[in-house]
Chains A and B, each alone.
Chain A
Amino acid sequence: MTASAVTPPVFDENPFVRRLRSRLGDLALVVATGSATLLVLGVLAIIVADVVIGGSQRFSWTFLSTAPTEGMTAGGVFPAIFGTVAMVVMMTIAVVPAGVATAVYLHEYADATARMTRIIRIAVNNLAGVPSIVFGLFGLGFFVRFVGTGMDFAFFGGQKVFGQPALVWASLTMAVLTVPVVIVATEEALRSVPRELREASLALGATRFQTVINVVLPQATPGILTGTILAISRGAGEVAPILFTGAAYYLPNLPWHPSSQFMHLGYHVYVLATQSPDVDASKPLLYSTVLVLLAVTFVLNLSAFIVRSRMRHRFTGAGT
């Protein structure tokens, strides 16, 4: 925006022509951008409609509560739901404390201008941008091959227990993938806590840590909840990071041990869609599985949205 780029306004035009031009220009831009918006919304609507119509045929309580049978052409998805829940629970246990601690450090302790703080922020941003398949490679190279094999030598005398794809490694890989989500949401919540609350606490003689624990974090709970829900939604849907770190095609038993492999809703969709021996026979089941997965992520995302907008309203009274 250099000064030379400024052209003097044209005043010698007929006012009627000018108004017409401005109307037409506005109309064109509204139509162009509005139809872009409609198209985006339409895509989502079409996907949802297709999945709901295709998936509701075979959808039933039995579908949710039984295991797949007859080469995945009959039965349900219970083991995949169980496996997803098990993985997400372990992931949450790992990711929430880590994410909240990092956000607290960044917002409550760190000097915003310090080089280390900036490096941490760059790291968080980059972590969020690493392709999910690279997380899969990392999970295999680090958790399975390095940590897992190390644990086997240390505790199990070299017997293969943790040195193979397992529920715990998939969960931890997913935790590393979702930690930026928790950090960003928590930090946003910390920012919304009024400075006066901290000052009042400090003026009462509380230490910074006491202020964080007793004053700031309770106020930031909705943000932490938002981050947790979004991380869970992401963890339930991502497939690439667990391809090599623990997800299994089909298992007769439920994964009761952290070192066992597990079935996963997203992976189940992938398997049914691409590796089914009889695509047409497994198609109704595939649709219903997608319906379950989509419903789970939508419910999670909507609740995250509601929690967050309530939080924003509480302190500012303003909209999103």
Chain B
Amino acid sequence: MSDRVGQVPLRTVGPGESLAASKLKLHDHVTAAARVAGNSPARYLGRPVPRWHRVAEIAIQVIALGVIAAVLLIFAFVAKEALPLLFSDKVHGEVTLGKMFIAQAWPGYDGAEHIWQPVSDIPKYGIWPLILGTLKVSIVAMLVAVPLGVGSAVYVSQYASRRTRELVKPVIELLAGVPSVVLGFFALMVMASWFQGWFGLESRLNALIAGVALSFAVIPLIFTISEEALGAVPRSYVEASTALGAARWQTIVRVLVPAASPGIAAAVALGLGRAVGETMIVLMASGNAAITSTSFVESVRTLSATIAAELAEVVFGGAHYTVLFFLGTVLFLTTFVINFLGDYAIARMKRRLGVAV
């Protein structure tokens, strides 16, 4: 880790000893060798090593550890603002964790219902309509994005000529670079009217529109990771399959895709994480009505869009504020778990194929 300028032990790899077995880092080995040659690392090209180098090295390490701190701080500060939901009596006057998850009997309704209506005479914080909305939009997005993303990855990595590949990949990267607010705008202003014309939908903005628009943001992610995974499958797999008499498509469907499946699974997982957390597209295109229904052509309200739409108008530290930060915590933990599983799948594939992706 440290450079230990001037204190490098004068020890090199002994005879018959491998560099790995000597427990010496390559760097130590080389500096020690350099010292033997009479060129002390404490003096570099005849000049003494400045002290600030050591300071800079410590700074580099501190900043790197800062990335861990950033993730912890994000969780800590979002969860901290949500904590009164569990412990504050003031907040409990309006809402408790139980009231959010268990159907409540509200005046004016028959029987117990899940209702999200935080701004009304009797604030209602039923979380299920939001979770359902998030699920509906994500399901639509994944149903569109997985076939298109994986399909185009298969085409680009297996069938496309080198020239086509070098054209298609940057263009799909461009799609990845389209800001989500532009996709939201396109869904809201253009796609919604088209869909309404084609399918005669009752509500112009709905889960279907939001999901399809969301898939445009997810497709490049799934494409990139799947394409990388397909490219990482060793050539010998393909050669063995071809030698056994398999046709190209048989090799792809029965050998390549199964071998790359953990990577493709990771692509799907990371895409799902993106779909669940994406905000601007669903905020603009989903209609934002917290309706509990199974229909995909009705307006929906997602967790992320709820935070974006409502936080600007709440009282700092109030019940509504606390609940919105709780939604943020739920989103953080959900995507954390999904991404963790995705990374795990990638690591597993690397190990199994014995390659570095």
Contacts and interface: CB of A to CB of B under 8 A. Distances in A.
Contacts of A156: none
Contacts of B169: 320
Give the secondary structure class of A's interface: helix
Interface string A272-295: 011000000001001000100110
Contacts of B273: 129
A319 B80 CA distance: 48
Interface of B: 1, 3, 5, 26-27, 30-31, 33-34, 39-41, 43-45, 49, 53-54, 56-57, 59-61, 63-68, 70-71, 73-74, 77-78, 80-81, 147-149, 151-152, 154-156, 158-160, 162, 166, 168-175, 177-186, 188-190, 216, 219, 223, 244-250, 252-253, 258-259, 270, 273-274, 276-280, 283-284, 304, 307-308, 311-312, 316, 324-325, 328, 331-332, 335-336, 338-340, 343
A120 interface: yes
Contact of B277 (A35, A131, A203): A131
A9 interface: yes
A51 B16 CA distance: 68
B284 A274 contact: yes
B34 A204 contact: yes
24 contacts: A25-B248, A30-B159, A33-B155, A35-B151, A36-B151, A37-B152, A41-B172, A44-B174, A44-B178, A125-B343, A130-B71, A130-B74, A133-B277, A133-B279, A134-B328, A138-B74, A138-B78, A202-B30, A204-B39, A205-B31, A207-B3, A210-B44, A239-B181, A302-B170
Contacts, number: 313
A239 B184 CA distance: 11
Given A43-B175, A199-B30, A123 B67 contact: yes
A154 B188 CA distance: 46
A21 B73 CA distance: 58
Interface string A103-115: 0111001110000
From B73, B179, B304, residue with most partner A Cβ within 10 Å: B179
Contacts of A28: 249
Contacts of A137: 77-78, 81, 307, 311, 324-325, 328
Contacts of B160: 37
A283 B31 CA distance: 66
Contacts of A130: 71, 74, 277, 332, 335-336
A63 interface: no
A137 B307 CA distance: 9
Contacts of A246: none
B335 A129 contact: yes
Interface in A9-39: 9, 21-22, 25-26, 28-30, 32-37, 39
Given A29-B253, A104-B60, A244-B311, A203 B339 contact: no
B284 A273 contact: yes
A236 to B, nearest CB: 7
A277 B330 CA distance: 34
B3 A101 contact: no
A238 interface: yes
A142 B180 CA distance: 25
